[in-house]
Structure 1
């Protein structure tokens, strides 16, 4: 029962954090470019709006250092409670902001400030949610446990895009732009209170608690991380860049690309995103479970190869019809990217010892996120100059995927060689184990 509650706590908080973060991404192309960054030129407005979107990604490494330090020194639970407050509070305030027409340049300045707070909070949330699950996992199912908080991404985005779709369908264009877009942001306050209540009832992870009891905590986690584990930080950055660029396109910029350059309606673009994210909800736990049998590395490579092969065909096929648009979104995002993402949290966390795991995992991942977060700015410029050019966009994606694929091939098989400790994982009462099958995969640590 404790394990189930802990998994639910890691998932619930992750869902709400990503709901808030992706609300901004959805609103960037649909609302903010018009209401907060009016320039008279829609292309320039979109470019500026996506610069603020990227600012949230740029702030994530700052959050990874702040909350990574707290998570490795004080505890995973305390850090995660603060990330919830930061994310929820900033999202709620975005829903109250005046527009450019009301207060002038102050409006975009306030919007950017709140976006930076969002990024800082998310920079600490992802790694902590992953560790809450993986450091409490019974031996042999760490991959499955690590995939559960990853569900927060599709669930949060589905919730965010569904809220915009619902409100858009119930309001006129004028009503939506005047006040309808604010409602999903204001609703964050209710969700955050619920998540804080859920997380307040969980215990610290066994592996961190053991480190604390034995006095083995790092004095300055970020210093020790870069002194002893800098290669793994760089490895994570490279492993994340390839799928990261494609992911930001598939989950954020696609709304602008499909509506402004392919001629699809806003509702069609939102529906394509919602369907592909709903598919991820099925893919992620299945692949996470399989990773305990065949290894995180193998699955990671398969996902990267699949995305690489379909990079150019994706951009060629999605303009053909609504059906093909939906189908390619499901394949690229709902299946192939979800395959990679389901293993990422566990794979990356297995590279670091417990005393710097929160910091190392978070810093590497969030530096990569900061880089890929400015992809929409590049794509907005590319689209303005070349239009929907399949070979240009596809080649861009291939470059990043090749880098990640090479690093994945030479990465260690962390299912067999890991920094997690056997005796911590085995310290679980038999009645707390989640029985998944009569035969569990053997994991050699």
Structure 2
């Protein structure tokens, strides 16, 4: 496959499919749509994650001490990851019955609506335990809707990438994670530094949730322009990227889904160990202003973004599975000592964050594509969605709670245990996948 996908309208007039002026679809164009979509989704994700540290413990759990209030806030965090697979099953049905455009519209409005609705929630002081219940329901709504945001563009990008650059193109969808984090961190850093603590907790924290809804709307129209065009519809169909009944996919590719879900656990566990957990530790146990650490986080995320770009070149040279395995081994070493850096002051925090994001960039950038290639073509669309859902559930959902609990009760070094378990799962899954491939 060359860098530009062959134009399936060759020899036909521009109106032969009722859509003029679009021209051939190239990997570069697909990449733009993927980055826009992923950035909007991760911005929503990080707005909630940052608020779960800076806002929710005081607004929804003021009757608890800071540590237990944050742990209570983190207990709601994985609800989105539990609801996400259920959402995927429902939205795959919508996809089959009403089409990908309709599914994506409902999902993104559901995601944006659930996120924006959090901004209107009264706190514990106004309605007591009901406020916590409403927050939990909206968190479930976020996860359920997120299950429908899978548009298949990432898989389409991988299938249409030049063979010698598949590692490079596998990296592109993951750029949305650091991009969304940078924007969310800087927005909260500005608000916490520009407003008094009273104003921030009263109304300032609500603003990022409105911004998330606006970004979702913009991303929706950008993605719809692509996924509902005749050119893309044709490409999805000819590449077998159509919604299949999840029961069929699980029945025929269940083993691949499980292996694929465990293969990226090292990077998914590290994901929250360098984003959500450090912020909670610094905010609770040090006197550092949150705006200062959020700025460190944004800068480290930018370094991680560069590492992701580097991973694309490395993966094409040494192989994606090799890079993923080497990264998992490095993460295991990192888990054995790095968390203690958070207790050594600002310089230690910077060292932890930058090193962690470099490892995250190298591993997370290739985490989705290394096993997804094992899916049979007709199972790839649904199988990739289910694999991603389970990987986030197992690898990331409980990470903030477990890491903070272990660090608070057994010391910072103990928080690395969760990270180590993820690295072991990745290495084991890669070994099993290689053994299965060799036996065929």
Relative to structure 1, is the Cα distance of residues 217 and 97 closer, same or farther in structure 2, using a 3 angstrom cutoff? closer
Structure 1 residue 413, shift from structure 2 partner: 11
Partner of 2:261: 237
CA deviation string 1:102-133 (max 9, x = no partner): 22222222211111111122234357352243
1:99 aligns with 2:123: yes
In 2: Cα distance, 1:217 partner to 1:198 partner: 20
Residue 238 of structure 2, aligned match among 202, 210, 219: 210
How far did residue 356 of structure 1 move? Answer: 2.0
Stretches of structure 2 that go unaligned for 5 or more consecutive residues are: 1-23
Q: For the Cα contact (< 8 Å) 1:124–1:362, is it kept in 2?
A: no
Q: How far does the alpha carbon of each residue in 1:32-62 deviate from its partner, in whole angstroms, 9 at most, with x for none?
A: 1110122232222112111111111221222
1:366 aligns with 2:366: no
Match of 1:196 among 208, 215, 220: 220
Q: Residues 345 and 384 from structure 1, CA distance in 2 versus in 1: closer, same or farther, beyond 3 angstroms? A: closer
**In 1, Cα distance between equivalents of 2:95 and 2:178:** 25
Match of residue 6, structure 1, among 30, 41, 49: 30
- Separation of aligned partners in 1, 2:308 and 2:204: 32
CA distance in 2: counterparts of 1:264 and 1:196, whole angstroms: 38
Aligned partners of 2:407 and 2:415 also within 8 Å = no
C-alpha separation between the residues in 1 aligned to 2:391 and 2:382? 14
Tell me, yes or no, if the aligned pair for 1:72 and 1:358 is still in contact at 8 Å: no
2:327 is the alignment partner of 1:299: no
Partner residue, 2:43: 19
Q: 1:319 and 2:343 equivalent? A: yes
Alignment of 1:27-426 (within 5 A): 27-68=51-92, 78-125=102-149, 128-202=152-226, 203=229, 204=232, 207-210=235-238, 220-332=244-356, 334-371=357-394, 372-386=396-410, 388-390=411-413, 392-412=414-434
TM-score between both structures, scaled by the size of structure 2: 0.85
Note if contact 2:399-2:418 (Cα within 8 Å) is conserved in structure 1.
Answer: no
Which whole-Å CA distance do the structure 2 matches of 1:104 and 1:50 have between them? 18
Does structure 2 conserve the Cα–Cα contact (< 8 Å) formed by 1:79 and 1:128?
no
Distance 1:145 1:253 in 2: 30
Distance 1:329 1:129 in 2: 31
Rounded to whole Å, the distance in 1 between the matches of 2:29 and 2:120 is 34
Query: What CA distance in whole angstroms lies between the structure 2 residues aligned with 1:316 and 1:47?
Result: 20
Q: What are the Cα deviations for residues 326-354 of structure 1, in whole angstroms up to 9, with x where unaligned?
A: 1221111x211111111122223212123
Tell me whether 47-56 or 256-265 shows the greater mean CA deviation: 256-265
Q: Is the 8 A contact 2:403 2:418 kept in 1?
A: no
Is the partner of 2:207 in helix, strand or coil? Answer: helix
Distance in 2 separating the partners of 1:132 and 1:142: 12
Any stretches of 5+ residues in structure 1 without a counterpart?
A: 418-445
Give, in angstroms, the shift of residue 68 of structure 1.
4.5
Contact 1:81 1:199 survives alignment (8 Å): no
Counterparts of 1:205 and 1:133, CA distance in 2: 14
- State how far apart, in whole Å, the 2-side matches of 1:119 and 1:153 are: 16
- Measured in 2, the distance between the counterparts of 1:149 and 1:309 equals 27
Whether the 8 Å contact between 1:71 and 1:358 is mirrored in structure 2 is no
Larger RCO, structures 1/2 (Cα 8 Å, 6+ apart): 1
Check whether the contact 1:59–1:370 (CA below 8 A) recurs between aligned residues.
Answer: no
